Structure 1
Amino acid sequence: MSLDTVKQAEQTPETGQPWKELGLKEDEYQRIREILGRRPTGAELAMYSVMWSEHCSYKSSKVHLKQFGEKAPRTDALLVGIGENAGVVDVGQGYAVTFKIESHNHPSYIEPYQGAATGVGGIVRDILAMGARPVAVMDPLRFGAAGHPDTKRVLPGVVAGIGGYGNCLGLPNIGGEVVFDPCYQGNPLVNALCVGVMKHEDIHLAKASGSGNRVILYGARTGGDGIGGVSVLASETFDATGPSRRPAVQVGDPFQEKLLIECTLELFREKLVTGIQDLGGAGLSCATSELASAGSGGMRIELDRVPLRDATLSPEEILMSESQERMCAIVEPDKVDRFLEICEKWDVIATDIGEVTDGVRLEITWHGEQIVDVPPRSVAHEGPTYHRPFARPDWQDTLQADDAGALPRPVSADELREQVLALVGSPNQASKEWITDQYDRFVQGNTVLAQPEDSGLIRIDEETGLGVAVATDGNGRYAKLDPYAGAQLALAEAYRNVAATGARPLAVSDCLNFGSPEDPAVMWQFAEATRGLADGCLALGTPVTGGNVSLYNQTGETAIHPTPVVAVLGVIDDVARRTPMAFKDPGQLVYLLGDTREEFGGSAWSQVVHDHLGGLPPAVDLEREKLLAEILISASRDGMIDAAHDLSDGGLVQAVTESCLRGGLGARLVVPDGLDAFTFLFSESAGRAVVAVPRSEEMRFTDMCGARGLPATRIGVIDGDAIEVQGEFSLPLAELRAAHEATIPALLA
């Protein structure tokens, strides 16, 4: 194939081009021609196609995402916000923490191991590019029906990929979720989060400034794996009738990434980098255009200098390749030699591929012939903006009217007992140890809490005990019933989980997983969830620092439940004062904090017992969530509670079961006045937690709750080897443990 140069493009305006096959719409292709004043070259078309994809340009979502900036709460903690590789917050003592969550959904369905592994690798490089040392990862996961044959194909591969890559990097996996639902059949959600730590002065940004500064590509060689990968693959539905755009999933090498991490951190320590960008979605197309667009000038690249694994790759393929373990740095000329020395020390290939110019264009040559000459902002930051039509679906009223509260309830103590066992042994409520035991949770020695605790907790300063907690949550069933409330419930649960460990919530990252934006009903769900999350973050004072939108999560016409996954990061001054979830001291008192109402819409009980989804989700009261968090944090700091666990999926009985099994002690419970046993056990009212209070602290604790207006009800005592609900039933811990722990191994055997 002859080389398509800029000069040839000017001289052959009518040459046909495969814009449709590359995922562009006809009007988008015409706009590219208008921007350039000619037809694009093949290389330029490749760049625009990946950078204007849904995954990279947010063309359907950015009109809604701007709310995160418009409604952002004022906080001194935010050091770097939306727009960079990851957000950065001040956690005190000169430390900054960066964190972000992203999706690798479609690649993980096609090739579960590599899709999940490279999802971890990509988010780790985003954190590294901010100047931070990655210190922990998390993985919120969604799969199809637990017993479906394809779940048995996808889940083990995804788990092995996450564990294999993260374990090889030496990063503890401290939390996440695993949810099963038929709506994710054929479209699992594999979201990955990474946390990194640095000092304030070590923050780095993705920009190319300083005419004459060199552009250095370093890390792995560029191969044919992942050409157009996640950038195109995540921008259409899985539909056999659609265009066939299922490129090879990226192949990860965690040992290469480990070298890249240590090499990059040494480059940072020696102040050799003025700007940096990792190569993830859209590969070199993204790194070069974004660095130039965010900088003060232009950029000139000699593409034939890029080290290749496959010498047959065309310029278009090199620009679209999403090969892993690569970074692009901007380096002053007098620092290049030292930069290359450090790379050689770490056995990392590094190549000078170009320079920053004082112009305004991104220019790329191939063996001396110019193949790209574009305004970089038009590629990186000025892609299409769609105002997609959205409308509340006709079926929403019918769904909400199908009240789960009207479902048949247990009519005897024996039936109540049976339903408790069914709940705690159901796939979504059962122990996930089969999965989490494949992850190293304690490598590096700074993990303080990890799954199944309410949030992961990492120590970041050994002398003072300063630490950060992170929790991820999202309930697609709630969001299907009411996307606005569902997003706020996800935020509230993650916020509550962080506070339950004693940490003060600071900031949010989100991964918004939805179906096709071309469906007005899906777009309405997205608009409502985004609005709900923005309003919720404003009310709680936790800014969104960044995140990811994943659209087209559907197979044919069947979309997943709207699934906004929310990550909340918090800070704790001394990890020695954290609160675990385990009930471990006999005689301590069990208190229920918050109000319990008849709220069963989208509940685990309605799903497990009746396979039902309908009604309204639990009501959201963000002021109550703030008050509950303040109580949990104060009680933890002042030694008033020895255990805490938030109430969410499965209600009180699920939380108490988990705390009892975690600590190896039972509990005797009394149904409070005004509640029946069923509502007491299974309601999923938000804004609640269960805590263990030493008898010596009871008065001080209840006085504090009373003074601040938080309902605190004594519901029992930690004792024995069973969970006993007075007047109803007794369940030995051995029986509960058998039900709770056998499910996942049996499903995946």
Structure 2
Amino acid sequence: MSLSDSDHEIVSEHLGREPTQAETALFENLWSEHCAYRSSRPLLGAFETDGENVVIPPGDDAGVVALDEDTYIAMGIESHNHPSYVDPFDGAATGVGGIVRDILSMGAYPIGLADSLYFGDFDREHSRYLFEGVVEGISHYGNCIGVPTVAGSVAFHDDYEGNPLVNVACVGLTNADRLVTAEAQQPGNKLVLFGRETGRDGMGGASFASEDLAEDAETEDRPAVQVGDPYSEKLLIEANEQLIDEDMIESARDLGAAGLGGASSELVAKGGLGADIELSKVHQREPGMNGTEILLSESQERMVYEVTPENVERVQEIAERYEMQASVIGEVTDGNYHCTFEGETVVDADAEFLGEGAPMNDLEHVEPPEPKKDVPEYDLDDAFETVVGAPNTASKRWVYRQYDHEVQVRTATPPGDDAALLAIREAEQGLAISSGADPNWTTAAPYQGAQAVGLENATNIAAKGATPLAAVDCLNGGNPEKPDVYGGFKGIVDGLADMCRAIGVPVVGGNVSLYNDSVSGPIPPTPTLAMVGTKDGYDAPPMALSGEGTLLIVGGTDDEPALGGSELLARLGGSDRFPELPTNPGELIETIATVADFESTHATHDVSHGGLAVALAEMLTEDAGAAVSVDDPSTLFDEQPGRVVIETTDPDAVRAAFEDAAPVSELGVSDDTGALSVDAGTESLRVSATSVAELRSVIEAELA
């Protein structure tokens, strides 16, 4: 990738001269799709970003929301898609490191990670290679830095074969006194580069992330992938904590896309200021680096801090204590963004123009066609076995057992449930976290599928008795220059924005990743949403049945089942309309959260991927089973979101609570058989918990 002729003309006209080599490279990266959001920014105004609890909306390294007057949560999300295709281990590991540093730059201590991963068909050897490498990279980095990975999702779909997605979210804990932003404060303050040495790894990462993956990407683009060191990141986390405790930092930005050039220019631009930087003062690990390489290297575990002159010595002492380096590379000014290398000017441009001067793209879009009804005939036993045993709906224990989710001793509800729950003892609240998307849904119907993604994440949180508080999104799409691809991307943006608004959840941050396209074609439009919610205390109803209650299904509509976007059709072929969504999602979610915390509620589980069949299978244990009845076998495989199975000893109280909010239907009863018996009109099935567990162990069995 290089600076286009039209962009070169704009830059030259603004500068009044030809750009230098370093300026050309800097504009190329900062004006790339990855950094400037040239194709997506015109759409992002659809999101509601303000709310009663919002402290810092989108625009900083992470969003910040208040749990109470004294406790804030910072939350962010990012993608590391192309790097994870080229080098699964390092690509995924450095994705974790990058999002953690986004949280550090807000003055927050990272307390939880959520990863949402998307790969080609599980039966393909290359997909499993990427899958194993990515999970290993996430677990290695997260475990080494001592931040628990508590939530996430995994999906397999043919259209990710040439371009997997690795979306990682992080939440951190801070308060009003510790809060830091990425807005430079005052001319005369020093700019300090803090952390590891700068090398040549990750050169041009931002521009690499803004173009389709080539057939030879795994070899040719390897230099664009950063190499992380989690042990250095752990030291950086603790050093950052001490710097914040001692009030040493005026503003901060982590070094990610476009390296030092991106971080430092964005920092001063947000304050309406400039900078004087001498690149040769940057501590380096490779000899002979030139100014452009130093400016754009995306070497990991580095931060840029704005520090008052009187605090510089103390910052360097703290760096030495944590075996890190802190180089004074320049200072904040009220002029241009000005960089020299060995005394010679290599960049001299207005900082705001660098970050905000890229013209937006005006792209054509085509609405996706409506699906036709084409539902194949199927046998209930075979369909149950196919869907419950599919990699998409199978147990993800093989993944999350590799993550240390107990470190920091906050995890009250671990991975494997609808949502994780962290104990925020500082506020005496539980923080529920859910993250993910479903490519089957958004392939079938981008707008409605994205609405369903928003509703499902909120339902996951409500099923654990928590009320949704805020969200961040990672919007992934293919090449936006293709009208059908851009039409699908526009659909997921509008659908996700409309549902979050309907639920009353502000979107306080996010990331856009386009050009996820390869020789095998574009990815499905994929709107990963990471949502948090809160509740009093740290207890939540489990997913597993107790064996002592009535089973109800709440939510949904009274319409006949629709199988569009379902795992059943993904496995058997065919198409159908997408299921109807509730017209009052905010009231529905609020009521689910209330009922989940009833003393008479023994178990709760949302109905989503795989439908009711998978939900019931996941609730079984060797000691607790269920006998249920439905009118139509399709009811078992309809994936209409916003529904929850509730095991209760007081069904009348549940019906009363949902009287004006949603339909309530009785499914049957739980028992101590350790088996699931289903009567579905003219068909029936009975399966034991043992056989269900065997069906659901397909990933573990293949990769063990």
Letter of the 2:408 partner, please give it.
Answer: Q
Q: Which amino acid aligns with 1:383?
A: A
The CA deviation at 1:245 is: 5.5
Alignment partner of 1:669 out of 598, 615, 628 = 628
Q: What residue in structure 1 maps to residue 646 of structure 2?
A: 691
The alignment status of 1:222 with 2:198, answered yes or no, reads: yes
For 1:174, the equivalent position in structure 2 comes to 150
CA contact (8 A) 2:253 2:267 kept: yes
The match for 1:124 is 100
The answer on 1:469 being equivalent to 2:432 is yes
User: After the TM superposition, which residues 43-192 of structure 1 pair with which residues of structure 2 at under 5 Å, given as runs?
Assistant: 43-68=22-47, 72=48, 75-192=51-168
Cross-structure match for 2:210: 235
The match for 2:230 is 254
1:46 and 1:319 in contact (8 A); partners too: no
Deviations 1:489-524 (A, max 9, x none): 110110111111111101121111110011111111
- From 247, 260, 269, the equivalent of 1:284 is 260
- Kept in 1: contact 2:259–2:298 (CA 8 A): yes
In the alignment, structure 1 residue 441 sits paired with structure 2 residue 405 = yes
Which 10-residue stretch deviates more, 297-306 or 464-473?
464-473
**CA 1:244–1:407 in 2, change beyond 3 Å: closer, same or farther?**
same
1:179 is paired with a residue whose SS is strand
Once the two structures are superposed, residues 22-46 of structure 1 have per-residue CA deviations (whole angstroms, 9 ceiling, x without a partner) of 4321101111111111011111111
More deviation, 375-384/625-634: 625-634
User: 1:450 Cα shift?
Assistant: 2.3
The residue number in structure 2 matching 1:407 is 376
Corresponding position of 1:413: none
1:337 matched residue in structure 2: 313
Shift of 1:244: 6.4
Counterpart code for 1:486: G
Classify the secondary structure of the residue corresponding to 2:3. Answer: coil
Q: 2:7 aligns with which of 28, 32, 50?
A: 28
Deviation at 1:465, TM superposition (A): 3.3
1:548 counterpart = 2:500: no
Please report how far the alpha carbon of residue 241 of structure 1 lies from its aligned counterpart in structure 2 after TM superposition.
9.3
Greater alpha carbon shift after TM alignment, 724-733 vs 35-44: 724-733
Task: Give the superposition deviation at 1:93.
Answer: 4.9
In structure 2, C-alpha distance between the alignment counterparts of 1:427 and 1:56, rounded to whole Å: 34
Q: Summarize the Cα distance change of 1:132–1:266 in structure 2 as closer, same or farther, 3 Å threshold.
A: same
Q: How does 1:294-373 map to 2 (within 5 A)?
A: 294-359=270-335, 361-373=336-348
Deviations 1:662-691 (A, max 9, x none): x752111122xxx22x12311222221101
Gaps of 5+ in 1: 1-21, 411-415
Aligned to 1:653: 613
Q: Offset of 1:629 from its aligned partner? A: 1.6
How big is the shift at 1:621? 2.1
Q: Structure 2 vs 1, CA of residues 297 and 373 (structure 1 numbering), >3 Å: closer, same or farther? A: same
For 1:215 and 1:241, locate their aligned partners in 2 and report how far apart those are by CA, in whole Å. Answer: 39
User: What is the distance in 1 between the residues matched to 2:138 and 2:623?
Assistant: 30
- Identify which of 654, 657, 669 aligns with 1:701: 654
* Counterpart selection for 1:427 from 387, 391, 398: 391
Give secondary structure in 2 for the equivalent of 1:533.
helix
Number of the residue aligned with 2:547: 586
**Match for residue 378 of structure 1?**
353
SS of the residue corresponding to residue 642 of structure 1 reads strand
Q: Return the offset for 1:202.
A: 1.8
In structure 2, what residue type is equivalent to 1:633?
A: A
Query: C-alpha distance in 2, partners of 1:256/1:74?
Result: 36
Q: CA deviation at 1:317?
A: 1.0
1:123-170 CA-partner distances (Å, limit 9, x unpaired): 000011111100010110001111111112211110000000000011
| AA partner of residue 586 (structure 1) | G
Matched, 1:537 2:512: no
Structure 2: tracts of 5 or more residues without a match: none
Contact kept? 1:579, 1:642, Cα under 8 Å: yes
CA shift for structure 1 position 440: 0.9
When normalised by structure 1's length, the TM-score is 0.90
* Distance change (3 Å), C-alpha of 1:165 and 1:244: closer
State whether residues 540 and 622 of structure 1, in contact with CA within 8 Å, keep that contact through their aligned partners in structure 2.
no
Question: Any idea what the Cα deviations from partners look like across 1:614-667, whole Å, max 9, x if unmatched?
Answer: 3322222251x3233222211233423121111111111100111114x75211
| C-alpha contact 1:592 1:714 (8 A) present in aligned 2 | yes
Native 8 Å contact 1:233 1:246 kept in 2: no
C-alpha contact 1:473 1:493 (8 A) present in aligned 2: no
Deviation at 1:357, TM superposition (A): 1.3
Report the Cα distance in structure 2 between the residues aligned to 1:480 and 1:679, rounded to whole angstroms.
Answer: 20
Q: Distance in 2 between matches of 1:193 and 1:241?
A: 29
Residues 557 and 149 of structure 1: CA distance in aligned 2, closer, same or farther (over 3 Å)? closer
The residue number in structure 2 matching 1:504 is: 467
Length, aligned pairs only: 697
Closer, same or farther: CA 178–664 of 1 in aligned 2, 3 Å: farther
Q: Given that residues 232 and 245 in structure 1 are in contact (C-alpha distance below 8 angstroms), is that contact kept between their aligned partners in structure 2?
A: no
Residue-by-residue CA offset, 1:431-455 (whole Å, 9 max, x unaligned): 1111111111111110011221111
The 8 Å contact of residues 117 and 165 in structure 1, kept in 2 or not, is answered as: yes
Q: CA deviation at 1:246?
A: 5.5
Match of 1:718 in 2: 670
8 Å contact 1:430–1:740 — kept in the other structure?
yes
Query: What amino acid is the match of 2:3?
Result: L
Shift of 1:713: 1.8
Matched, 1:389 2:393: no
- Is residue 523 of structure 2 the alignment partner of residue 569 of structure 1? no
TM-score (norm 2): 0.96
CA–CA separation in structure 2 for the residues paired with 1:512 and 1:390: 17
Partner residue in 2 for 1:611? 573
The range that moved more, 259-268 or 241-250, is 241-250
Does residue 523 in structure 1 map to residue 486 in structure 2?
A: yes
2:383 maps to amino acid: Q
From the superposition, tell whether residues 73 and 284 of structure 1 become closer, same or farther in structure 2 (CA, over 3 Å): closer
Name the SS for the 2:223 alignment partner.
Answer: coil
CA deviation digits over 1:245-264, x for unaligned, max 9?
A: 66331000001001001101
1:668·1:724 contact (CA, 8 Å) conserved in 2?
A: yes
CA distance in 1, matches of 2:2, 2:464: 46
Q: Which residue of 2 aligns with 1:731?
A: 687
Secondary structure in structure 2 of the residue aligned to 1:89: strand
Q: Distance in 1 between matches of 2:173 and 2:360?
A: 34
The equivalent of 1:481 in structure 2 is 444
